[in-house]
């Protein structure tokens, strides 16, 4: 019985090895290295997941069921609040927003940080300069953010007058770009 099993295993191994070596090279798709690099880029969500400065944002995206949306093709521009931005909110606010009964409010706040299309820092600065120092951005949520320049940095003013500064620009993702901001903006 043991001999039959050994022979079966050897036959199976032989068939596997000969099959592997019998592949016609013309059947193999050759992908240029640049395309492999492009395909291996992380999505906006994967970038945020891999950065310890965005743990609160990631928790909020999960609570609002926006992970799948921001993992889709896009492109998106995300003005992503860092953990310290969420820490500026009054005590208990983040915890309350993460509760299931507040999902609609949380979704509104998060989508207020997202713009359809990919807008790199140079594009935003050019738009500000071309519009007399102020450029209004329509968010996915439907609200408006006003972009201005102060001391060479892009500031975003929300509809309530709260100002946030872009502290890290142009973090590439496969489905858009992230600009880290220092304050949570609200519609």
Q: Exposure string (b/e) for 88-114, b if CB count within 10 Å is 16 or more?
A: ebeeeebeebbeeebeeebbbbbbbbb
Q: Cα separation of 165 and 88, whole Å?
A: 14
What do you get for the CA distance between the two ends of the chain, in Å?
A: 74
Q: At what angle do helices 103-111 and 55-63 cross, to 10 degrees?
A: 130
Beta bridge partners of 154: 149
Sketch out the chain's domains with CATH numbers: 43-181 (2.30.180.10)
Any idea what DSSP says for residue 183? S
pLDDT in tens, the chain (187 residues): 544 444 443 333 344 333 333 434 343 333 333 333 444 489 899 999 888 889 998 899 888 888 888 888 889 999 999 999 999 999 999 989 989 999 999 899 989 999 999 999 999 999 999 999 999 999 999 999 999 999 999 999 999 999 999 999 999 999 999 999 999 999 9
Tokens of 151: 């001391």
The number of C-alpha atoms within 13 Å of 164 and in the hemisphere containing its C-beta is: 28
């Amino acid at each position: 019985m043991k001999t039959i099993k050994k022979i079966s295993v050897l036959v199976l191994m032989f068939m596997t090895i000969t099959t592997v070596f019998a592949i016609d090279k013309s059947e193999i798709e050759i992908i240029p290295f640049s395309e492999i690099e492009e395909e291996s880029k992380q999505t906006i969500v994967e970038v945020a997941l891999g950065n310890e400065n965005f743990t609160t944002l990631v928790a909020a995206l999960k609570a609002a069921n926006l992970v799948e949306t921001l993992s889709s093709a896009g492109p998106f521009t995300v003005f992503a609040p860092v953990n310290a931005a969420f820490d500026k909110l009054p005590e208990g606010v983040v915890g309350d927003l993460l509760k299931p009964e507040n999902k609609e409010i949380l979704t509104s706040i998060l989508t207020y940080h997202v713009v359809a299309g990919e807008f790199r820092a140079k594009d935003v600065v050019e738009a500000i300069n071309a519009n007399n120092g102020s450029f209004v951005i329509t968010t996915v949520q439907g609200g408006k953010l006003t972009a201005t320049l102060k001391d060479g940095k892009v500031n975003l003013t929300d509809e309530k007058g709260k100002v946030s500064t872009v502290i890290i620009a142009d973090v590439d993702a496969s489905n858009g770009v992230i600009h880290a901001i220092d304050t949570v903006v609200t519609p």
